[in-house]
Amino acid sequence: MKPEYSEPQLPPNSTRQSVDDDERKALISPEDRRFDDVHYDEEETAELGPPPTRSRRCLVFSVLFFSLLLLSIAIPVQRFFWGPSKTTAKPQLKTQGLLNNGTHDFKKTAIIVSIDGLRADYLDRGLTPHLLAISKDGLRAKSMQPVFPTLTFPNHWALMTGLYVESHGIVANNFWDPATQREFHYNRIESTWVSEWWYGEPMWETAERAGVRTANLMWPGPPKTTSGASPTYFVPWKEKLDQILSWIDMPIETRPQFIMAYEPSLDQAGHLTGPTSKLVNKVLKQVDVFARDLHDEIEARNLTDIVDIVFVSDHGMTDTSHPELIFIDDVLGAGYAHIAHEDGWPAMGLRFDTPEHTDTYLAVLRNASRASGGKFDVYTHATMPARWHFSENPRIAPVYVVPRIGYALTDRAENGSGMNKGSHGYDNSYKEMHAMFVAHGPFSSVVKAVEADRIQAASSSPARRLAASILGRDLARPTRAGTRRRTT
């Protein structure tokens, strides 16, 4: 008998003191808050190597894949996507882009499930046979490089808009906006549900404008964009499998074609006990059972040739159970009192109270970085690594201190208290930060056939030209364009 899927649970005696409890709190309705306030995250020890081109391209590939998948839903079915059916049991193409599973009419449908904190190499532990089996008939990117900073909110909005962080505006999980003189907190509804924070057009808005119904089950982002668009269905928090299937089982007149869902439990376990812990492996198995059950339910409805399922994650996780602490107040001395705003974590964005203090203490930080022997780096907008696309936005603090894996920034008052055993947010070139991508379904099969040997090194240009020619417009892609750049 196969094990039943149940919502992944953390230990009953857990204090739940992890950054991602706050992330979860930010996505449930105000009256349903039931988690305590929390702390932040960090990583392990490895040399910082050059950015892996393959993994960076895999992010481009995943955003491109989502865009083309959305196109395949919004456009009448063509023979390119479905050839003649070999058996009568196969879904049959009908007029006006409809398919039939033998009992009901369906339009092409996509389900995208984000599994927060599922590090790419978790799938190589021998604990996820169902995800691997699903990927054999579909697609798997061995690893996918997230955008910097490797945090939940910046990366989920990058996946949904196709924009780099400097362009979509969510530059960290918490940050100061000098234009509005307000602070964004990912654990506060008054931030996360206010559309003005979020730049760019998410895929669900693109779909809704094309007449495609969408459903959002806890995907990070606002319930409504600045243009006033919102998904047809927006559910902050419910048991995911049942909710997804209830949408699939709706009548065609009300059924969503584009479904987004978010699962935070693996990330919570990683923060609480570290990426190599028994709890992470236990929750990973539960996630795999969820993937199997979702796939089996779609198969039982004879929808495997109609519905595409995509499993993706936002970032990885590294061990921070014994990091070497860097005391920022010791580094700055008297300058610590001149910090007006402190953004992000584990990287630290600093805004000093005057331009003179910025110049003075930037020099202090740079000298300390050189003296540290490579424990942390210090950047300004002008010196930020170009590969991060993390400079052209005033929300990005003018001074950024970025620790290497194995190190954590703190101060003497905190002394590393509340440090999680697992963290993320580091340089996106570290393999520990890399995310996963698995897809299965009719569109995935076409992409696999066309890109069989090039999936991990996929370039955006040819496929984007194809997508643009189909839709007759430019689509979202990672870009270094300035702030408030929309994808239209």
Nearest to 111 by CA among 395, 254, 312: 312
* Rounded Cα distance, 320 and 424, in Å: 9
Who contacts 96 (Cβ-Cβ below 8 Å, separation ≥6)?
Answer: 76
Of 128, 152, 273, 318, the active-site residue reads 152
Nearest to 267 by CA among 62, 55, 119, 111: 119
* Rounded Cα distance, 350 and 362, in Å: 10
- Residue 74 · residue 211 · CB < 8 Å: yes
- Residue 439 · residue 454 · CB < 8 Å: no
Q: What string of DSSP letters covers 161-201?
A: H---HHHHS--SSEEEETTTTEEEETT-HHHHT-GGG--S-
3-state class (DSSP) for residue 228: coil
Lookup: tokens for 166: 């400097």
- Residue 3 · residue 168 · CB < 8 Å: no
3-state class (DSSP) for residue 270: helix
Who contacts 273 (Cβ-Cβ below 8 Å, separation ≥6)?
Answer: 279, 280, 421, 422
Give me the helix-helix angle, 265-273 and 278-300, nearest 10°.
Answer: 170
3-state class (DSSP) for residue 128: coil
Establish whether 152 is a catalytic residue. yes
| Cβ neighbours around 73 below 10 Å, total | 21
SS3 content of the chain, % helix, strand, coil (to 5): 35, 15, 45
Query: CA-based diameter of the chain, in Å?
Result: 77
Provide the annotated active-site residues. Answer: 152
